[in-house]
Amino acid sequence: MLRRIGAIGDIHAEDQALARVLEALAGLAVDRILAVGDIVDGPGDSARCCRLLAQAGVDVVRGNHDRWALKDQLRNLPGALAALDPEQRRYLDSLPATRDYQTVAGPLLLCHGLGTDDMCRLTEDDFGYALETNDPLQDLLASQQYSFVVNGHTHRRMVRRFARLTVINAGTLFRENDPCFAVVDFAAGRVEFHDVRPDGITPAGVHPLDPGGASR
């Protein structure tokens, strides 16, 4: 039963930032560390990222970039790997699309986009029709299976409440998109974001797990 977790967003080969984040989380008394995938395709060493995640025992799901890399698709994207080494391929191939957990405040789904759809986007700017036509979100709401979703994909940190479901976007470590990570304290009912900069890691605000008033 999880009380407190670390949440790492899209990594995109930022091995140096990932190493600093894992070191910081080791001192923050979390029960587990979760990561939303997109390990590959970026400016750093994605093979080292895989090793760091494995060595730290991080629970990781597969992102769309990881899926593309395994299938040798869209390798013409900026920063895309030309090929995976065998160890990296085995690691990425072992990652599931989703993982389930029990927290002290209710069940949690770890995914990349939403559910098994690793391309599904959800942002704080989505309202009305954008939410109504977001089928993965509507499926999650209808199932009433989860109290929390930890996801990524958009590179935008977010805590957003929908009826009985709170979606926590862990953001990204990618240097061009406001890099951060999160600590989610289910017992205290809050999410603490931390900025990740080349000169260090600094607190970046606390958000309630139930921000008050469900989004529509």
Q: Note the pLDDT of residue 79.
A: 86
213 pLDDT higher than 70? no
Question: Average pLDDT, whole number, for the chain?
Answer: 95
Q: What's CA 178's distance to the chain center, in Å?
A: 14
Q: Note the pLDDT of residue 212.
A: 62
CB 146 within 8 A of CB 111: no
Q: Note the pLDDT of residue 214.
A: 58
> What's the token pair of residue 209?
């797990």
Q: Which of 164, 157, 162, 214 is closest to 191 using CA atoms? A: 157
pLDDT, tens only, 103-145: 999 999 999 999 999 999 999 999 999 999 999 999 999 999 9
Query: Whole-prediction pTM value?
Result: 0.95
211 pLDDT higher than 70? no
CB 43 within 8 A of CB 157: no
Domains of the chain, first to last = 4-208 (3.60.21.10)
pLDDT, tens only, 15-73: 999 999 999 999 999 999 999 999 999 999 999 999 999 999 999 999 999 999 999 99
185 pLDDT higher than 80? yes
Q: Note the pLDDT of residue 78.
A: 86
DSSP one-letter string for 19-65: HHHHHHHHTTT-SEEEE----SSSSS-HHHHHHHHHHTT-EE---HH
Tell which wins on pLDDT, 177 or 210.
177
